[in-house]
A and B are shown apart, each in its own frame.
Chain A
Amino acid sequence: MTRSVMLGAATALALVGGGVADAAAPVSGAKYDFKNWDTCQLDKVYDPVTDLGTCMTVVVRDGTMRVGSLNVQIADGSLMIAGGVSQPDPTHPTNQVFVPAANDGKFGVYSKSISVPGGALGTGSSEDFGPTAIQATVEAVALPSVQPYTLGVELPVRLKLTNPLLGNNCYIGSASNPIRLSLALQDAGAAQWISDTVPGVPGGVWPQATHKATNFAVPGATGCGLFGSLNWAVNQRAGLPSGGAGNSLSTTSSVYNAAGWELL
């Protein structure tokens, strides 16, 4: 039996027997943070005739996600949504279009990979490293909807799981069947000027805005292991597919906002 086959078997067994894991999840690489408004395509966001359009960046500071039987802690700066919101029809100001920071296929959603606590074994922090460690990365599959009026965020995503044995094509959710996160504002909290912390940058920020999404459906895994041979193990480990009951995402984010005219 080759080493990879042994590890594969071990991983499959571990995934099956993992159960729920709770732990702080380290984020890989430098965390995302707000620097300036160069992430806003002002020429597409701001309408000089109506004077409307706003630039927005959301940086998730903290959070927890429960999907099936899996609990993941979301680390500071592991997720950022950057872009702006245009109002193409001033007579219907609530018709808004999110304009991503760049046309790079990421839909304005940038994510650092997060270690799934307990890894494949679901046992402890030692599983954050080594062959059974699993990294999860949020990938948007379509443009999010960022609502400047309500500070709500609609986010269609898939979760990419990375592990030497799961391969490079292991996902929970897909472009055709994404996890639809509808993050409703719980409390915006007090706002302040961005320039209070980033000198010279216009606009305001709600530094501790809380959002929550609940009862979203999570489809089963696809593409995990050779020809999807470990889909069942991932599903077993994470309790997927999940119809929605009990799934939740709670976040605390810094929401940055500047009117287009302030950036001219």
Chain B
Amino acid sequence: MATKVLNRGSAVLAVAAVATLTAAGMAYASTTITPANTPVTATSSDLRIVTPGYTMRCTNVSGTGTTPAAPGNVNPSTGGIDINISSVSLSSCQLNGQAANVVASGTWKLKVDHDGASPQGSLIIPASGAVVTVPSSGCSITVGASTIGPLPYAKPSVTASNSGTVNFNSTGGGVCPPAGPGTAALTGKLTFSPGVDVTP
């Protein structure tokens, strides 16, 4: 009985999906990225994380990764493909115009897909993906696991404009946000070199 219900549900979803695809004319359910198995760097000259009253800006952001080797560069269904970005570095950073130190860690990811009418990407920050320390204030801000996006991707860049939810935890004190968890938004353009094609 349960199987029949599920099958009936799947059939309805399939019909709905076909109808949607037909109506949209440009919707897809697969993603291919090229080139495969190729080292890429991601850079930004102006990346901002903002929450009311606070603007952290870094003008020298970089990370390195490798596009998945075939057949991992093709996802025949929805869900996109992850490009892991390691060795993330955020320097020349400031908080409200004052120098701040940012130490990134873990593997950041850019999940790209062409499941919709146009390519898009989500920036995925791991737990404790960055720690911001503010000199002399004795306070720090830890960026927690966050997914920012999906954001529009136009080769070679993904662009955020006051987008998404960046989770953080502040120790409070000094010029840091009040102690405890908070959320911020991301603004900036992350550019890949060489450019990565994201196609259906």
Complex contact A148–B53 (CB within 8 A): no
Complex contact A151–B174 (CB within 8 A): yes
Complex contact B99–A150 (CB within 8 A): no
B68 at the interface (CB under 8 A from A): no
Residue-wise, chain A 172-203 has the 8 Å CB interface mask toward B (1 for contact) of 00000000000001001111110010000001
- Name the B residues within 8 Å of A205 (CB-CB): 53
Interface of A toward B, CB cutoff 8 Å: 46, 50-55, 85, 87, 90, 93-94, 147-151, 185, 188-193, 196, 203-206, 257-262
- Name the A residues within 8 Å of B137 (CB-CB): 149-150
Q: 18 A-B Cβ contacts within 8 A?
A: A46-B97, A52-B94, A54-B98, A87-B98, A87-B99, A148-B97, A149-B134, A149-B137, A188-B175, A190-B52, A190-B53, A192-B52, A192-B53, A193-B52, A204-B54, A257-B53, A259-B94, A261-B57
B72 at the interface (CB under 8 A from A): no
> With A51-B94, A192-B52, A259-B96 known to touch, is A148 a contact of B175 (CB < 8 Å)?
yes
> With A147-B136, A185-B174 known to touch, is A93 a contact of B55 (CB < 8 Å)?
no
- Name the A residues within 8 Å of B174 (CB-CB): 149-151, 185, 188
Complex contact A90–B53 (CB within 8 A): no
- Name the B residues within 8 Å of A192 (CB-CB): 52-53
Complex contact B97–A149 (CB within 8 A): no
Complex contact B52–A149 (CB within 8 A): no
B135 at the interface (CB under 8 A from A): yes
Please give me the residue from chain B that is nearest to A204 by CB atom: B53
In the assembled complex, the Cα of A54 lies from the Cα of B54 at a distance in Å of 12
In the assembled complex, the Cα of A261 lies from the Cα of B57 at a distance in Å of 10
> With A192-B53, A204-B54 known to touch, is A54 a contact of B96 (CB < 8 Å)?
yes
- Name the B residues within 8 Å of A148 (CB-CB): 96-98, 175
Complex contact B98–A149 (CB within 8 A): yes
> With A149-B174, A149-B175 known to touch, is A258 a contact of B53 (CB < 8 Å)?
no
Complex contact A191–B54 (CB within 8 A): yes
Complex contact B99–A191 (CB within 8 A): no
Please give me the residue from chain B that is nearest to A195 by CB atom: B52
In the assembled complex, the Cα of A150 lies from the Cα of B135 at a distance in Å of 9
Contact of A150 (CB < 8 Å), options: B54, B92, B136: B136
In the assembled complex, the Cα of A46 lies from the Cα of B136 at a distance in Å of 20
Chain A nearest CB: distance from B171 CB in Å? 13
- Name the A residues within 8 Å of B96 (CB-CB): 54, 148, 203-204, 257-259
Within 8 A of A (CB), among B30-53: 52-53
In the assembled complex, the Cα of A199 lies from the Cα of B158 at a distance in Å of 30
Residue-wise, chain B 111-150 has the 8 Å CB interface mask toward A (1 for contact) of 0000000000000000000000011110000000000000
B59 at the interface (CB under 8 A from A): yes
Q: Which of A85, A149, A189, A206: most chain B CB closer than 10 A? A: A149
Please give me the residue from chain B that is nearest to A96 by CB atom: B98
Q: Which of A94, A196, A206, A257: most chain B CB closer than 10 A? A: A257
In the assembled complex, the Cα of A192 lies from the Cα of B52 at a distance in Å of 5
B63 at the interface (CB under 8 A from A): no
Please give me the residue from chain A that is nearest to B52 by CB atom: A192
Complex contact A257–B97 (CB within 8 A): yes
B65 at the interface (CB under 8 A from A): no
In the assembled complex, the Cα of A137 lies from the Cα of B171 at a distance in Å of 38
In the assembled complex, the Cα of A175 lies from the Cα of B54 at a distance in Å of 37
Complex contact A52–B175 (CB within 8 A): no
B178 at the interface (CB under 8 A from A): yes
B188 at the interface (CB under 8 A from A): no
Chain A nearest CB: distance from B72 CB in Å? 39
Chain A nearest CB: distance from B48 CB in Å? 10
Complex contact A258–B136 (CB within 8 A): no
What are the 5 tightest A-B residue pairs by CB atom distance, in nearest-first order? A191-B53, A54-B97, A259-B97, A204-B53, A93-B99
In the assembled complex, the Cα of A87 lies from the Cα of B97 at a distance in Å of 10
Chain A nearest CB: distance from B132 CB in Å? 13
B177 at the interface (CB under 8 A from A): yes
Q: Which of B54, B174, B178: most chain A CB closer than 10 A? A: B174
